[in-house]
């Protein structure tokens, strides 16, 4: 079925409207104009300026993609939508993204953590590059133009309105009767009311495994102890993997931390075994990756004292220490918005979409791309990569219509 506004005048000049001048919308506009220079493209943006969010990504440095070298399965990067992304990367991969930006005059650098940034470390270079090409190729950009109803008179319509923290923000799509996944936040730190932990504010433990008791949700990486609880990559990843579960439990869950670089109980016993032969005090002789202050707190949680001697530890005490080091549990009291990144889990269900063209199954001339869809990722450049890939694939699908 065609949507009634379809205008077949594109046999002469195809008219395309894009709702939202964000990362996906502007990338789509530029690529569409590269593929079909004569197509008439209008971008409708509700804000005062285009790509406002893109300009503050990565703390103003714009982590625009990732090498994906540390990702062994795409579900690690995209808790929602990984199958789709796997399919889409065959059309426009992270490597294609890197080449695209370099060729557009934005040299990139890869950090040791696999995140890719512009060499200029300036998100405005990314924004400026897209804006300049949109202008040079004659894309019409209408700012302060909020779309409240689907615009009429276009041959193709692209919805790239971004994450919708409230379902109400998607009301302009109501005439399409789409199935929606209720939005919940993703990528946040967790609040924990435990004073001894707050005294350790600023400590980073490089390699932890965090999990939610009674679930299979688990994430690995550096953990930052803060004045309100816990943050850092491991916690942000966990918040992404378990976004819906955490929302359902009002962010009050039991968080378990393995402080021992991924070692299980047996491996920790083996690591600590040589310590048991010494008459040194527990407080003075401990695994090197833990600071003395942190170690003191962990001893306390295991009901041991710093003056206790290693060779005097009995079996039960050793068990308590090993359990604390490998599965230290905290009750969370809520969530905190991460200062730099925030994405929405949920949005338009992928079941509405033809995964090859990104058109709606019900309306083949309406395309969706970016965070408006129920696709979201952990931090590290993966969210913008999704926006570039989807924007590109939609441009390709529209160009195939001509
Ligand atoms: C502070 C912050 C930092 C981030 N840093 C990174 C990072 O470094 N790397 C990374 O990969 N991801 C990052 N992200 C996530 C990333 O920015 C988003 O996933 C990405 O911008 C989504 O692109 P999009 O085009 O789908 O949506 P957006 O970029 O949000 O664009 C949507 C646009 O649509 C407009 N719009 C919405 N509704 C309407 C309407 N009805 N009519 C007209 N216009 C409308 C909005 O005003 C907006 O301009 C960050 C997010 C935040 C909030």
The domains located in the chain, with CATH, are: 8-185+341-401 (3.50.50.60), 188-337 (1.10.8.50)
Which of 278-287, 295-304, 320-329 shows the lowest per-residue confidence on average (mean pLDDT)?
A: 278-287
- Report CA 323 to chain centroid distance, whole Å: 32
**How many angstroms is it from 319 CA to the middle of ligand 1?**
48
Selection from 333, 336, 330, 334 nearest residue 255 by Cα:
330
Q: Which atom of ligand 1 is nearest to the CA of 390?
A: 26
Residue 330 host element (H or E): strand 328-331
Which of 273-277, 295-299, 301-305 shows the lowest per-residue confidence on average (mean pLDDT)?
A: 273-277
Q: For all residues of the chain together, what is the average pLDDT?
A: 94
Measured from the CB, is residue 42 less than 6 Å from ligand 1? no
CA distance 119 to 375: 28
Cβ–Cβ < 8 Å for 10, 149: no
Measured from the CB, is residue 172 less than 6 Å from ligand 1? yes
Measured from the CB, is residue 58 less than 6 Å from ligand 1? yes
Give the whole-number percent of the chain exceeding pLDDT 90. 90
Per-residue pLDDT, 339: 54
The pLDDT tens digits for 348-373 are 999 999 998 999 999 999 999 999 99
CA distance 172 to 169: 7
The pLDDT tens digits for 9-45 are 445 689 999 999 999 999 999 999 999 999 999 999 9
The pLDDT tens digits for 206-265 are 999 999 999 999 999 999 999 999 999 999 999 999 999 999 999 999 999 999 999 999
Helix 382-401 vs helix 94-103: crossing angle, to nearest 10: 80
**How many angstroms is it from 163 CA to the middle of ligand 1?**
7
The pLDDT tens digits for 82-134 are 999 999 999 999 999 999 999 999 999 999 999 999 999 999 999 999 999 99
Residue 272 corresponds to which tokens in the numbers above? 């600590």
């Amino acid at each position: 079925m065609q949507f009634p506004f379809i205008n077949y005048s594109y046999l002469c000049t195809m008219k395309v409207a894009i709702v939202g001048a964000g990362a996906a919308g502007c990338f789509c506009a530029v690529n569409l104009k590269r593929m079909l220079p004569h197509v008439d493209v209008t971008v409708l943006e509700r804000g005062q300026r285009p790509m406002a969010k893109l300009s503050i990504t990565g703390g103003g440095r714009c982590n625009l993609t990732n090498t994906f070298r540390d990702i062994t399965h795409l579900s690690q990067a995209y808790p929602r939508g990984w199958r789709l992304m796997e399919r889409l990367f065959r059309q426009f991969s992270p490597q294609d993204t890197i080449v695209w930006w370099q060729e557009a005059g934005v040299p990139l650098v890869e950090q040791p953590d696999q995140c890719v940034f512009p060499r200029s470390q300036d998100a405005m270079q990314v924004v400026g590059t897209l804006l300049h090409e949109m202008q040079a190729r004659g894309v019409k950009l209408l700012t302060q133009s909020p779309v409240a109803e689907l615009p009429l008179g276009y041959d193709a319509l692209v919805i790239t309105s971004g994450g919708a923290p409230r379902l109400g923000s998607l009301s302009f799509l109501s005439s399409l009767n789409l199935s929606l996944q209720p939005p919940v936040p993703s990528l946040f730190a967790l609040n924990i009311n435990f004073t001894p932990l707050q005294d350790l504010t600023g400590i980073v433990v490089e390699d932890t495994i965090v999990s939610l008791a009674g679930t299979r949700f688990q994430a690995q990486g550096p953990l930052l102890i803060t004045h309100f609880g816990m943050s850092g990559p491991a916690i942000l990843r966990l918040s992404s993997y378990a976004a819906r579960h955490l929302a359902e439990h009002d962010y009050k869950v039991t968080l378990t931390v393995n402080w021992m670089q991924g070692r299980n109980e047996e491996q920790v016993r083996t690591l600590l075994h040589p310590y048991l032969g010494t008459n040194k005090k527990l407080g003075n002789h401990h695994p090197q990756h833990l600071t003395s202050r942190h170690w003191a707190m962990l001893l306390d949680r295991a009901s041991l004292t710093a003056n206790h001697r290693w060779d005097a530890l009995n079996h039960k005490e050793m068990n308590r220490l090993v359990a604390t080091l490998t599965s230290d549990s905290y009750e969370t009291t809520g969530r905190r918005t991460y200062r730099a990144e925030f994405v929405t889990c949920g949005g338009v269900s992928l079941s509405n979409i033809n995964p090859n063209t990104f058109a709606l199954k019900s309306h083949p001339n309406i395309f969706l791309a970016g965070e408006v869809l129920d696709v979201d990722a952990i931090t590290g450049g993966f969210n913008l990569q999704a926006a570039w890939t989807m924007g590109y694939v939609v441009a390709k699908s529209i160009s195939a219509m001509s």
